[in-house]
Amino acid sequence: MSLPKVTLALCLSIITIFVSFPASAQTNVKQLADGVFHIWLDHYSSLVVIGENSILINDPANTERAKKLKAEIQKLSHKPVQTIVLSHEHYDHVGGSEVFEDAEIVCHRNCESVFQLDESNMAPAKVDTNYSDFLEIDLGTAKVNLHHVGAADGTATTLIHLPEQGIVASADMYEPKELTHELFMDDVNYLGVRRLLQKAVDLNPKHAINAHSPGTDPIDLIEGLKFVNDLYTQTKPVLYKTLQEGGFPGLMQAMPTLHKRIDMSKYQEWKNYEHLPTHVRRMALSIFHGG
């Protein structure tokens, strides 16, 4: 039996309060390039690309936000939203697509295996277009490239790139001077996160959109990659030494205190630094367990 949408919305609200996300009553619409906008609304980001005949967006998030998002888009253009790109398979990003009637849903092919398990009524009824490693969408006024470099936050993670405008967009890979809350780390493969962030930095963007941040300064992306690289560099040798000394049983015994054997103190002023043990564990599991 699927949850009523009102119940789900209440659950999501409770989660939001529990993890102390900052309130976001103000909507911010920022033009990044000709016909390209970043809309910050209800603690989620959406990329909006106004094409020759239609509009492309990403991650409506949920029905109520999608209604507000649609109203904001109509202030920018009366062209129809015909393409919705989903950043990955997690339900808090993919809901609300039904608000944009007849829009084509685009997601990495791994989305569908998760969507068919949906009991929340958040996932779209179907994915119209999926892809494997790369997909180019030509809107006439802009080309939108979708890259998949492996599992990261979930298994269907997409990096969006507008090469002509120098814009990248991703979800749940990093936040400015903040560690992801430990409640949302169970589905993270840190090796994939590292690869995606490196890909994004290598594209040398002018703007870097992150799903849960109002800013688009690429410095936040660069610092996010530096954190992950430092976490990898610190964790890997300790992990292998522990395996060499005690084998798999020794590693399992040491896992709860593995974070005490590495030094990430340069990030101690970052929000949620107290959740570092979970990040160390996820990196270790990503390296020797595949996730």
Pair (140, 25) in one structural domain: yes
What's the pLDDT tens digit per position in 71-86? 999 999 999 999 999 9
Pair (168, 239) in one structural domain: no
The tokens of 207 are what? 């703007």
Pair (87, 204) in one structural domain: yes
How many Å apart are CA 270 and CA 179, to the nearest integer? 7
Q: What whole-number percentage of the chain has pLDDT above 90?
A: 91
Where residue 37 sits, what CATH number does that domain have?
3.60.15.10
How many Å apart are CA 98 and CA 244, to the nearest integer? 53
> DSSP string covering 84-147, please?
EE-SSS-HHHHTTGGGSTTPEEEEETTHHHHHTT--SS-S-S--SEEESSEEEEE-SS-EEEEE
What's the pLDDT tens digit per position in 93-120? 999 999 999 999 999 999 999 999 999 9
Pair (217, 251) in one structural domain: no
When divided into structural domains, the chain yields a total of: 2
What's the pLDDT tens digit per position in 33-45? 999 999 999 999 9
- Which residue's entry shows tokens 């569908």? 112
Give the domain extent around 256.
234-289
pLDDT, mean of residues 251-267: 96
pTM (2 d.p.)? 0.91
Quote the crossing angle between the two packed helices 276-289 and 190-202, to the nearest 10°: 90
Q: Taking 50 as the threshold, does the pLDDT of residue 1 lie above it?
A: no
Residue 26's pLDDT is 84
How many Å apart are CA 63 and CA 192, to the nearest integer? 30
